[in-house]
Chain A
C-alpha cells in the first residue's frame, strides 16, 4: 500500500498559475480528482507522476519525492490522457514492451495475464491504429498495470469511451482499489466521479476547492440555489402558483414570455412542479436549467 502526499504544491508557467498551493493526501481506494477543464488536473497529474517539477512544495510517495526519480515508476502506473502514437505496434507488443521495460521476470506471462484483466486478449494481435477509443484506453490501462503498481494514476480515463466499456472500466478500477491499491482518476464529469469514487478532491482554477466524501460534496452542490427558465401556456398564472411554494425563492416574468425561477430546494421543487401545473390546468412547453453547467457548480463551491 502506498500513499501519495502533496504538500503546499504550486506550479506556475510564466505568469500563469496552474496549480495554487494544493495540499492533499491520496491513500488506498478510489479517489476522484474532479474539476472543470483547465482547472489544473493534468498539471497536478503530471507532478504526481514525476513529469513536472512543482514550482514550490513537494510531491512524495511514502515520503520520497517523485521528480527525477525513475525508480518511483516501480510503484506508479500512469495512464496519460495522451493518445497512443504507437499505432504501428500490436496491442500485445505494446504491453509486452512495457513489461520488458520494467524488467519483469516473466514478462510474457504478465502480459497475457493483464490482457485478460482488461478483456483485450482477442484484439491484442491487431495493430493499435485499428482500435476503437475504448480499446486504446484499455490497452493503456493494461500497459500501466502490467507491473502490478501500488498506485494507479489515470488522466480522464473515460473520455470518449462508450457507456458499456465505461462500466467495464469502472468495475476494473473498483476491483483494483479493493485489492488495496491507490487509484486516482481525474474527470470533469460529475456523474463519472459519483459512480466510482467515494472520496473526491475538487480543484477549480488551480485551487483545491473541496475534499472529502462524495455524498457531502454532492449535497453541497445540489442544495445550492438553482435557476430555471420555464415557458408555459400561461406564464403569469404559473408565476403566481410558483411563488406560493416554499422551495421557490424568486420568480421573474420575462418581457417576451417565459419565466425565470430561482429554486432553493431542488428536490421538493421537482416533485411540486408537475402537480402544480396539473391542478392549475397549465401546459409546460419548456423547462431548462439556466446555469447547470459544471463551471457554475464549481464556482458556487469556491465562493462558499
Chain B
C-alpha cells in the first residue's frame, strides 16, 4: 500500500466527470425505490427494486466506473509511466489503486443498496442486502481492476459480464450461480436473512469471492510489472 498512489488515484476518481455518473445511478436508484415503495404501499415491490435494480445492476456499475477510473485512463494513454518510473513495487501500486476503487464501491455502491433497503423497511432484510453488497462489491472492484489493467474496453466487457452473464443467463440457468459474483454475494446475505435466495454453497461463495478478489488485485499488479511502453511507430 502506497499512500501517494492512493491519493493520486482518489484525485483521478474525484477529478473526472465520470465521478458524477458514478454517483448519479445510485441516487436515481434510491429515488425510484422510494417512489415505488410509497406508491405501491407494499414492501414487496420495494424489495424487488433492491433485488432487481440496486444490487445486481447499480452496485456492479459503480464498481466498474470506480475501478476503471483509478487505472483505465492512465493505462490507456500511457501516462501511468509517470507513476511506474519510480522505485515503488508494482503490486503496491495495484493494491493502492484497488483500495481506492474498493472503498468507493462500498461507500457509494453498497451504501446506496443499504439506503434503498432502509427506505423500504429498516430491518433484517436491509442488513442482508448490505452484507451481500459488501461481499459482491469487494469482488467486483478487484475483477474490474484486473480488467482495466488488460484492456481499454474494460467498461464494455464489465457491462457485458454483468448484464449478459450474471443477469440474463444467470436468471435462465441456475448453474451460472457457481460463477456469478452476484450470486455469491446473495448467498452470503442469505445467512443474515432467509428472504435472500440460496443459489450456491456458502463455503464456495466465500472462497470464490476471496480467490477472485486476491487474484484480481495480484493479476493487475503483475500486468503493471510487465507494463511496456510502446511508441507510435
Contact B227–A97 (Cβ < 8 Å): no
Given A46-B231, A100-B4, check contact A85 B81 (CB 8 Å): no
- Chain B CB within 10 Å — which of A40, A74, A86, A102 has the most? A86
Contact A82–B86 (Cβ < 8 Å): no
Stretch from B6-14, B58-66, B180-188, B204-212 contacting the other chain: B6-14
| Chain A residues positioned under 8 Å from B4 (CB to CB) | 97, 100-101
**Nearest residue, chain A, Cβ from B78:** A82
Whether a CB of chain B sits under 8 angstroms from the CB of A183 is no
Contact A88–B12 (Cβ < 8 Å): yes
Measured CA separation A111–B225 after assembly (Å): 27
| Chain B residues positioned under 8 Å from A209 (CB to CB) | none
Whether a CB of chain A sits under 8 angstroms from the CB of B147 is no
Measured CA separation A52–B3 after assembly (Å): 27
Given A40-B233, A88-B15, A101-B4, check contact A82 B79 (CB 8 Å): yes
Whether a CB of chain B sits under 8 angstroms from the CB of A70 is yes
Measured CA separation A76–B78 after assembly (Å): 18
- Chain B CB within 10 Å — which of A70, A74, A88, A89 has the most? A70
Determine how close the nearest CB of chain B comes to the CB of A159; give it in whole angstroms: 12
Whether a CB of chain B sits under 8 angstroms from the CB of A42 is yes
Question: Which residues of B213-231 have CB atoms within 8 Å of chain A's CB atoms?
Answer: 225-231
Determine how close the nearest CB of chain B comes to the CB of A92; give it in whole angstroms: 13
| Chain A residues positioned under 8 Å from B90 (CB to CB) | 70
Contact A38–B233 (Cβ < 8 Å): yes
0/1 string, B39-83, CB within 8 A of A gives 1 = 000000000000000000000000000000000011001110111
- Chain A CB within 10 Å — which of B228, B231, B232 has the most? B231
Main secondary structure of the interface of B (DSSP, over half): loop
Contact A82–B81 (Cβ < 8 Å): yes
Given A80-B229, A83-B77, check contact A88 B86 (CB 8 Å): no
**Nearest residue, chain A, Cβ from B73:** A85
Residue from A13, A49, A83, A86 in contact with B85 in the complex, judged by beta carbons closer than 8 Å:
A49
Measured CA separation A103–B13 after assembly (Å): 24
0/1 string, A81-95, CB within 8 A of B gives 1 = 011111011000100
Measured CA separation A81–B226 after assembly (Å): 20
Question: Which residues of A35-89 have CB atoms within 8 Å of chain B's CB atoms?
Answer: 37-43, 46, 49-53, 68, 70-74, 76, 78, 80, 82-86, 88-89
Residue from B16, B79, B228, B233 in contact with A53 in the complex, judged by beta carbons closer than 8 Å:
B228
Determine how close the nearest CB of chain B comes to the CB of A187; give it in whole angstroms: 14
Contact B85–A78 (Cβ < 8 Å): yes
Given A73-B87, A74-B87, check contact A43 B230 (CB 8 Å): yes
Measured CA separation A280–B184 after assembly (Å): 94
| Chain A residues positioned under 8 Å from B15 (CB to CB) | 88-89
Whether a CB of chain A sits under 8 angstroms from the CB of B94 is no
Contact B8–A97 (Cβ < 8 Å): yes
- Chain A CB within 10 Å — which of B78, B85, B233 has the most? B85
Measured CA separation A111–B82 after assembly (Å): 16
Given A80-B78, A85-B74, A143-B82, check contact A101 B230 (CB 8 Å): no
Measured CA separation A37–B225 after assembly (Å): 28
Whether a CB of chain A sits under 8 angstroms from the CB of B22 is no
Contact A86–B86 (Cβ < 8 Å): no
| Chain B residues positioned under 8 Å from A88 (CB to CB) | 11-12, 15-16
| Chain A residues positioned under 8 Å from B160 (CB to CB) | none
Determine how close the nearest CB of chain B comes to the CB of A70; give it in whole angstroms: 5
Contact A51–B77 (Cβ < 8 Å): no
Measured CA separation A101–B11 after assembly (Å): 16
Residue from A13, A82, A93, A102 in contact with B87 in the complex, judged by beta carbons closer than 8 Å:
A102
Whether a CB of chain B sits under 8 angstroms from the CB of A30 is no
Whether a CB of chain A sits under 8 angstroms from the CB of B169 is no
Contact A46–B230 (Cβ < 8 Å): yes
Determine how close the nearest CB of chain A comes to the CB of B183; give it in whole angstroms: 37
| Chain B residues positioned under 8 Å from A50 (CB to CB) | 85
Residue from B79, B87, B88, B232 in contact with A85 in the complex, judged by beta carbons closer than 8 Å:
B79
Residue from A39, A41, A68, A101 in contact with B86 in the complex, judged by beta carbons closer than 8 Å:
A101
A sample of 22 cross-chain residue pairs with beta-carbon separation below 8 angstroms, ordered by A number, consists of A42-B229, A49-B229, A50-B85, A51-B229, A52-B229, A52-B230, A70-B88, A70-B89, A78-B85, A80-B81, A82-B79, A82-B81, A84-B79, A85-B73, A86-B11, A88-B15, A89-B11, A93-B11, A101-B5, A101-B87, A143-B82, A144-B85
Q: Which A residues are closer than 8 A to B by beta carbons?
A: 13, 18, 37-43, 46, 49-53, 68, 70-74, 76, 78, 80, 82-86, 88-89, 93, 97-98, 100-103, 143-144
